[in-house]
Chain A
Amino acid sequence: DAKTTQPTSMDCAEGRAANLPCNHSTISGNEYVYWYRQIHSQGPQYIIHGLKNNETNEMASLIITEDRKSSTLILPHATLRDTAVYYCIVRAPNTPLVFGKGTRLSVIA
Chain B
Amino acid sequence: EAGVTQFPSHSVIEKGQTVTLRCDPISGHDNLYWYRRVMGKEIKFLLHFVKESKQDESGMPNNRFLAERTGGTYSTLKVQPAELEDSGVYFCASSQPLGGGNTEAFFGQGTRLTVV
Do A and B pair up? The answer is yes
Residue of chain B at shortest CB distance from A91 = B102
Interface of B (DSSP majority class): strand
Interface of A (DSSP majority class): loop
Chain A positions within 8 Å of B, measured between CB atoms, are 2, 32, 34, 38, 41-46, 49, 51, 87, 91, 93-101
Closest beta carbon of chain B to A38's beta carbon, Å? 8
Chain B interface residue count, Cβ-Cβ cutoff 8 angstroms: 27
| Partner among A41, A46, A49, A93 whose Cβ is within 8 Å of the Cβ of B89 | A41
Would you list which residues of chain B between 1 and 39 have a CB under 8 Å from chain A? 4, 31, 33, 35
Q: How far is the CA of A38 from the CA of B48 in the complex (A)?
A: 21
Q: How far is the CA of A16 from the CA of B45 in the complex (A)?
A: 34
Would you list which residues of chain B between 56 and 76 have a CB under 8 Å from chain A? 56, 59
Interface string of B70-104 (1 = CB under 8 A from A): 00000000000000000001010101001001101
